[in-house]
Amino acid sequence: MSAAKAKAQSLINENAVVVFSKSYCPYCKSSKDLLNKNGAKYKLLELDELEDGADIQKALEEISNQRTVPNIFIKQKHIGGNSDLQAIASKLPEMLKDAGAV
């Protein structure tokens, strides 16, 4: 396993909510806004600001079959991107509570 894949996987394993993001990405901003509105605590990685960000993005494609950001995990479950998160907005309070992220 590559170092980037091991890093991505342990971030997913060790955090209730993880958002792999890019700082300039409007879809990422929408997801972060929704999580913030719900009072969620989450691990945030801005891949464009990390030296190994491109490698992590490639690793995420292997892990989740998704290359775009945001790439969101709640309680180790792959949620998907912003459209997927918005689609479950009504269920988020319960999911975040269950994950221990609020």
Give residues with Cβ within 8 angstroms of 81, minimum separation 6: 27, 31, 66, 68, 69, 70, 71, 72
Both tokens of residue 6?
A: 């091991």
Q: What is the number of the residue whose Cβ is closest to ligand GSH?
A: 81
Q: How far is the CB of 55 from ligand GSH (least distance, A)?
A: 13
Q: Which of 4, 18, 25, 79 binds ligand GSH (CB under 6 A)?
A: 25
| Strand-strand pairing, 77-80 and 43-46 | unpaired
Q: If binding is defined by CB under 6 A, does position 72 make contact with ligand GSH?
A: no
Q: Which of 3, 83, 91, 94 binds ligand GSH (CB under 6 A)?
A: 83
Q: If binding is defined by CB under 6 A, does position 68 make contact with ligand GSH?
A: yes
Contact 32, 44 (CB under 8 A): yes
Q: If binding is defined by CB under 6 A, does position 66 make contact with ligand GSH?
A: no
CA 33 to chain centre: 13
46 φ, ψ (degrees, to nearest 5): -90, 100
Q: If binding is defined by CB under 6 A, does position 69 make contact with ligand GSH?
A: yes
Q: If binding is defined by CB under 6 A, does position 82 make contact with ligand GSH?
A: yes
Q: If binding is defined by CB under 6 A, does position 12 make contact with ligand GSH?
A: no
